[in-house]
Structure 1
Amino acid sequence: MGVLSGRFKEVLMLLFIVFVHEMGHVWMARRFNWDVIKIELLPFGGAAVLEPKGIRPAREEAWIVCWGPLQHTWMMGLSYFLLHTTDVWMVQDHQLFISHNMAILLFNLIPIHPLDGGRLVHLLYSAFLPYKLAMRATRLTSLILLFIGFFVVLIFMLKLNLIMIFSFLILTLILDYRQRNYRFIRFLMAKLDDQTSTKRSNLYVEKETTLRVVSEKIRKNHLHTVVLVENHVRTTYSLAAVLDVYFQKGAHVTIDELNKR
């Protein structure tokens, strides 16, 4: 629509800003040896689909998430430089470029999944909560903020582009909810060969505890040992051994049944 209405320069400007933002994520991901699956570009944002290759330190993901928004700082600085050193970059270009940069930057920092702000919120939750509970808390936070934002847009602003963006985010959140079990299973499979986590912690269980309950206690960057204390006797299991039974026999198996194997 921007091209048809004679706003070709503005469309190019938006696509350039989004491209540089996403390439910031990609560049940092490559530095940490993550796989880059694809990059999607839209006028109101983009998405770099990355594969972390198993469990990776939270600091890596935090750097990757933050490196996209940080690109806006040098882009805005470049605009100021071009404005004062060339005759090509006019005041109108500069003002438009700065406003688009600020809009995309602030929009991406909204704590709604899958925006950068939402990913940072998920990392924060993961630092204190088990992975499955962190996923649930992130979805709930995103849902509350989405409906608040959607309500504000409908009642006070009523702009079609904002309505489309919030509708897209709601759809993305619905799809993420439908894929929650798949994401959790992928996380558990990655924990079978977790070679980067350094924090050690115990998961205390009873003999009637099912492996489903154990799996829901697992935290992202922790090396867990499953501990059963009964009649002053302490029995320990490696998390890899527990997850191996989880995948072979099912989540309904109890800790007591592990002793009978």
Structure 2
Amino acid sequence: MNLTNYVPSIHIHPVLYIFIVISFITGTFLELFIIFFLVLFHELGHYTAAKVFKWRIKNIVLWVFGGVMDTDEHGNKPMKEEVLVTIAGPFQHLIIYFFCFLAEAFQIFPLSVLELILYYNTILFIFNLIPIWPLDGGKLLLLLTSAYFPFKKSYHFTILFSMVTIVIVLIIQLLFFPFTLSSFFIWIFLFMENRTDWKQRFYVFMRFLLRRYDGESSINGVVPLHVASESSFLEVFSQFRREKKHPIYIIYPGNERKSVDESDCLQSYFYEKAYNHTIGDIFLYK
């Protein structure tokens, strides 16, 4: 039996080492240990649900107040699966509440330790549901918007909304609340993560298209697209929605129309490398 199929590869994000140093300086190592355990338990919830659906998982990266399960499956799996995998993390915190109830009843932990576990469990539970990428709330926001809008537009909106929200939170914190270095680091870290993802948005979109080209995307419905003949392939692809099959109607001058399948468009772009051609030119004589 290969244990690597059941035990995730876990990595520590460099930002966590900063908080370890801070915890030693401030004498809050117990608090950090509790947070680390809660974050690990949270991520194991995502991991377990993903393994049930047979997702391909690279590793789990842990950082303070959260973590990331590295997988290539986002964007091409059924949305119901992604919702279940996403909420499996926050669900773990409900299990923690139950265990805390038992621990209090049987006096397993000192009351002071139990209060810390309950406090940080609540903080992590609420924090991860904030609609900021890549928190679970941000992933749910992306899933919600991509159910009604094209994937590219939904992804861009989620990242931009997250960065704007983080800036607003930082301004409010600096103006109206006592300054705390750990909180400041967390928000800056989240902002930099979103900034990195914004820079890589084209590659995320290409991965989304390649999954469709390879036939790995889930389909649940048909939405026709009407595009002008002078449209580029990327302009057409930017209208693609998750779980929707797109018959494409090309509108030529004189209102002449020609229908093509989305798979033919993806074939022309990725296999025939029609990067610099309009969709009308490629399919005019086909």
SS of residue matched to 1:70: helix
Q: Of 235, 238, 246, which aligns to 2:269?
A: 246
Q: Are the equivalent residues in 2 in contact too, given 1:201–1:225 (CA < 8 A)? A: yes
**What is the RMSD computed on CA atoms of the aligned residues?**
1.9
Q: Are the equivalent residues in 1 in contact too, given 2:240–2:246 (CA < 8 A)? A: yes
2:17 alignment partner in structure 1: none
Q: Is the deviation greater in 112-121 or in 34-43? A: 34-43
Q: Which runs of 4+ in 1 moved over 4 A?
A: 3-6, 229-234
Q: Of 151, 167, 176, which aligns to 2:188?
A: 167
TM value normalised by structure 2: 0.85
Measured in 2, the distance between the counterparts of 1:140 and 1:250 equals 30
1:48 alignment partner in structure 2: 69
Query: Deviations along 1:86-140, whole A, 9 cap, x unmatched?
Result: 2x31221121111100111111111111111111000111011111111111112
Measured in 1, the distance between the counterparts of 2:166 and 2:25 equals 31
Measured in 1, the distance between the counterparts of 2:200 and 2:268 equals 23
Query: Deviations along 1:177-203, whole A, 9 cap, x unmatched?
Result: 110111111111111114521211111
Structure 1 residues 249 and 50: CA distance shift in structure 2, 3 A = closer
Measured in 1, the distance between the counterparts of 2:275 and 2:96 equals 50
Measured in 2, the distance between the counterparts of 1:41 and 1:229 equals 50
Measured in 1, the distance between the counterparts of 2:273 and 2:31 equals 57
1:205 alignment partner in structure 2: 227
Q: Of 230, 244, 247, which aligns to 1:222?
A: 244
1:29 alignment partner in structure 2: 50
1:8-157 equivalent positions in 2, closer than 5 A: 8-52=29-73, 55-86=76-107, 88-157=108-177
Measured in 2, the distance between the counterparts of 1:202 and 1:169 equals 37
Q: 1:209 offset after TM fit, Å?
A: 2.2
SS of residue matched to 2:82: helix
Measured in 2, the distance between the counterparts of 1:125 and 1:183 equals 16
Q: Is the deviation greater in 102-111 or in 245-254? A: 245-254
Measured in 2, the distance between the counterparts of 1:150 and 1:163 equals 7
SS of residue matched to 1:223: coil
TM value normalised by structure 1: 0.93
Structure 2 residue runs of 5 or longer lacking an equivalent are 1-21
Query: Deviations along 1:9-64, whole A, 9 cap, x unmatched?
Result: 32221111000100000000111111111111223222211221872111111111
Residue correspondences, number: 260
Q: Are the equivalent residues in 1 in contact too, given 2:130–2:138 (CA < 8 A)? A: yes
Measured in 2, the distance between the counterparts of 1:188 and 1:131 equals 10
Q: 1:233 offset after TM fit, Å?
A: 5.7
Percent of pairs with identical residues = 29
Q: Are the equivalent residues in 1 in contact too, given 2:217–2:243 (CA < 8 A)? A: no
